[in-house]
Structure 1
């Protein structure tokens, strides 16, 4: 499956013919490599037919390295593994769960050491990065005959060499989350512009609420705030070009993003570097914060039932009317195979299963904060949040993954995490900040 000759041909190949009446041309105005597009699976025609027969004679033990360490996704993975073992009596899965952040920070050493047969990871640049460096196994056999997966998802799983290295499981959007009951109680309206957000934030302060819950102890959550602002201030095309290392970080455009962010910090929950995203989410859950910019996994901190039914979201408001607010982030989570798995047949069998609607039905039922990637998954039991997430992504004209997925892993972890945290400590020295980022970027992207 070679990449088309031109970028326009490539982008067109990612987009299905229609999504709720939106044409190929208008749905996506650009993409960063194979992983930048996501289309809502339940609304799109799928490629392929029948079930994959990969690993049909597989037996023995398959080891699974999982970064799903929080309670809800951890239980969802266990439920999926239980279902897989039930359907494949000759195979046993041993799960090796590692703290989410530790897993990401040590992924290079992990893959170069003695990795598990199958491991959880992300679509996009990060998948291709390890495939290109020969640290991941070719799972094209697991894709043979795959039913229900769109061409867009297959593209998102394909390395630079045209082979598949990733099996999508679920996806989720990033947005501004809030409790409907809190908005109703105070008569708040969803902000359409940045000025509206500032006005809303000021009123929330008067009402004794934290306008925007915020926690960046782990480093990566604040990347989402930068992404949303950059998408709104400079647009999608500039954003993905910046992530790819093709734009200078010390440009006026990037400075404007940080300037805009600095002007919003008074609405953010203070002392963010000492708070995890889970702790910040709990302030939203407890009705102490009015909104929270995060992925829909924020729902994991809400009890299933009435609490989750009270959770809603809106896209980050418009900053520049010439740019609009039609770009969103919707990261794809899934699984890869190590370069030399001890049980390759078993690993391929499991990866084929992970891509199936049966496996994803189990995942999204156990974790209502995510949406299935397989178009044949059962959506009848979706919560209101899952349904809205699918519609939200389908209506977007441009879709990014996330900073630490759309750029080089080493740049994201060694440069951007400390840089953004430094900004949060001292938002006044933006010139020094961006000059430092640019200098480090030039060194890393030259390697």
Structure 2
């Protein structure tokens, strides 16, 4: 068993100094920001960032200031709204991208590496590898055996709640699916929205599907399904949707019109009793409110699978193939791979867990420490649907399909048939 930040491990304001950021730009505008002569002087490094919420945006600026002081270079951060960045990343990378861009480990990293849109950073790993576990290196490695990614932080998905609300109402943490549904029904009679939920961007709904699938059918089946090797018309998949449909009457009304931030705010305002989301849900809480935030593992559906799998995406950095300052970009990645840089970031955004083995965990909040325990105790770690499968399949097929299910939960057969048809066409490449 390998280690993560000192624990066992088996798997989101204004900027100061020279760190500049644009507003919520479209990617074509972003691409225009990085035009200029190849490796112009090597004194400036540009970074395309999806850290668009106020807290992570400031945290990245803090870390960037540290890089500037240490390297003597200027870091220009170009910030794009998170979902827009994901949806338009392909055209961004094929256009005139920045030197470095924020991205995700695993399948999604491998996809762009295979497309020839990322720079090999195996030489960087020769210097930083000692600070990472084999699990992280594997998550950063392309199909060709080379590294293209440097992990920065990760965060588990779980069921979040406000302990003060639960204490007042006398609720206890459910372990099984039946207990979870029973609790949701009780919350509804108590005047709460049982389960906060937002699906305007589509991707937040993926977390619920992933967990039900892993709890019901097991991690191996889930990974195989994401890889296009299983049929979406399989009765196992339909059972996932049927179980999900059973809790939809207890989820937040109007979810298809709500952003993830609005869903999280329902929990923050104590209007909702529970919320399935990543640790970044804390971005919507003040420092004081975050003391009244806790989580539990997604409930068990089949005792054979228990709660063994945890969804814990890894975020980090890649260098674009068209980078103008490759040397400076690699210097930035080496800096981001230090306990110093990860600590600087987490000092402002305590809603994630560092990836470096030497990261200082003494200042972790109780929530961060519990997150490490959850990840450490997992037998299997998934990266999240839109990272464990092809990005085109996730964006063009699964997002609209999950949204269609939320509109018409009784139309599972038709939805699964449509997904399977599109999957065959996409995965034949």
- With normalisation by structure 2, the TM-score equals 0.91
2:282 is the alignment partner of 1:299: yes
2:102 is the alignment partner of 1:120: yes
Shift of 1:200: 0.6
* Matches of 2:182 and 2:208, distance apart in 1: 19
2:31 is the alignment partner of 1:67: no
2:51 is the alignment partner of 1:87: no
Show the counterpart of 1:229. 212
* Matches of 1:152 and 1:41, distance apart in 2: 13
2:369 is the alignment partner of 1:387: yes
Shift of 1:202: 1.1
Show the counterpart of 1:400. 382
2:175 to 173, 180, 192: 192
Show the counterpart of 1:202. 185
Show the counterpart of 1:341. 323
Show the counterpart of 1:42. 6
Contact 2:225 2:231 in 1 (8 A): yes
Shift of 1:44: 5.3
* Matches of 1:142 and 1:95, distance apart in 2: 21
Q: How many residues align?
A: 397
2:114 to 129, 132, 135: 132
Contact 1:40 1:393 in 2 (8 A): no
SS at match of 2:127: coil
* Matches of 2:4 and 2:250, distance apart in 1: 33
Show the counterpart of 2:243. 260
Contact 1:40 1:391 in 2 (8 A): no
Contact 2:173 2:296 in 1 (8 A): yes
Show the counterpart of 2:20. none
Shift of 1:148: 1.8
1:415 to 397, 401, 408: 397
Deviations 1:304-358 (A, max 9, x none): 1x31111000011011112211111000000000013111110000001111111
2:91 to 109, 112, 130: 109
* Matches of 2:226 and 2:100, distance apart in 1: 28
Contact 2:198 2:260 in 1 (8 A): yes
1:215 to 187, 195, 198: 198
* Matches of 1:275 and 1:42, distance apart in 2: 38
SS at match of 2:78: strand
Shift of 1:372: 0.3
Deviations 1:393-415 (A, max 9, x none): 00011110000000000000000
SS at match of 2:152: strand
* Matches of 2:341 and 2:206, distance apart in 1: 30
1:352 to 318, 334, 340: 334
* Matches of 1:74 and 1:223, distance apart in 2: 24
Contact 2:311 2:382 in 1 (8 A): yes
* Matches of 1:68 and 1:40, distance apart in 2: 23
* Higher deviation after alignment, 275-284 or 148-157: 148-157
* Matches of 1:332 and 1:215, distance apart in 2: 22
Shift of 1:144: 2.0
Contact 1:44 1:375 in 2 (8 A): no
Contact 2:154 2:352 in 1 (8 A): yes
Shift of 1:364: 1.1
Structure 1: 5+ residue stretches without partners: 1-14, 17-38, 46-57
Contact 1:117 1:343 in 2 (8 A): yes
* Matches of 1:417 and 1:291, distance apart in 2: 23
* Matches of 1:199 and 1:162, distance apart in 2: 48
Cα RMSD (Å): 1.1
1:166 to 145, 149, 155: 149
* Higher deviation after alignment, 146-155 or 134-143: 146-155
Shift of 1:40: 2.8
Structure 1: which 4+ aligned runs deviate by more than 4 Å? Answer: none
Shift of 1:267: 1.0
Show the counterpart of 2:164. 181
Contact 2:133 2:357 in 1 (8 A): yes
* Matches of 1:226 and 1:43, distance apart in 2: 28
